[in-house]
Amino acid sequence: MSGGGFHVHGPHDHELEHAQQGGGHGDHGGGMTNQIAMFTAIIATVGAIFAYMGGATQANAGLYKNNAAIKKTEASNQWNYFQSKSTKQSLAEVSRDLTPKEGEKAKYQAKIDRYEKEKGEIKLVAEKLEADATDWDKRSDEQMHLHHRWAQATTVLQVCIALAAIALLTRKKWLEYAMFAAGAIGVLVGALAVLHI
């Protein structure tokens, strides 16, 4: 209360002045605030990189799964082609066996031999396409595993940032330690993703 040039400060006035000058209750010069702010900025940056990597690996997983599906379809087409050659070969064999003329038998045998050769070539192509499809599936699964690692790391870093906000509001030292621990765990999980573990 003031009157005639005389002013009496209440306890809250002293705290407000101290806070305006950069101090906080029990913070001795804002060290905790500055430390948490700097750590939060670094963790937010790392988290943004992890989130980007998570999105990239998820997109890769989808692309690779699509490639696998395309290869499976191509392999299926080859196996259908193989089956059509087998059917033609069977018809040629029946025709060869039923024809009474020797000249006709030789003509059908030539077709049978040609179909057998073509089936061998088609089978090689179909098996290669199946192997490619399996490879694309495996690569897709690896990318999804990495996506999950990046997502786990990003989630832990988001928890770390939330702990930082709570630590700033409450000025609890144990929350600051929890924030540092969560940050370390998040970076460790991100390192596992980098190492493809």
Q: For residue 69, how many C-alpha atoms fall within 13 Å in the half-sphere facing its CB?
A: 6
Convert the pLDDT of each residue in 83-142 to its tens digit: 999 999 999 999 999 988 888 888 999 999 999 999 999 999 999 999 999 999 999 999
Which amino acid makes up residue 80?
N
pTM for the whole structure = 0.70
Q: For residue 114, how many C-alpha atoms fall within 13 Å in the half-sphere facing its CB?
A: 8
Convert the pLDDT of each residue in 16-51 to its tens digit: 454 455 544 444 446 788 889 899 999 999 999 999
What pLDDT is recorded for position 47? 93
Q: What is the mean pLDDT of residues 145-172?
A: 93
What pLDDT is recorded for position 4? 53
Q: What element of type H or E holds 7?
A: strand 6-7
**Which among 163, 156, 138 has a CA at the least distance from the CA of 193?**
156
Q: How confident is the model at residue 15 (pLDDT cuts 50, 70, 90)?
A: very low
**DSSP code, position 8:** -
* CA dist 87 → 50, 67, 83, 108, 123 (Å): 55, 30, 6, 14, 15
Query: Residue 148 contacts by C-beta under 8 Å, 6 or more apart in sequence?
Result: none
Q: How confident is the model at residue 150 (pLDDT cuts 50, 70, 90)?
A: very high
What pLDDT is recorded for position 1? 46
CB neighbour class for 106 (10 Å; exposed up to 12, middle 13-18, buried from 19)? exposed
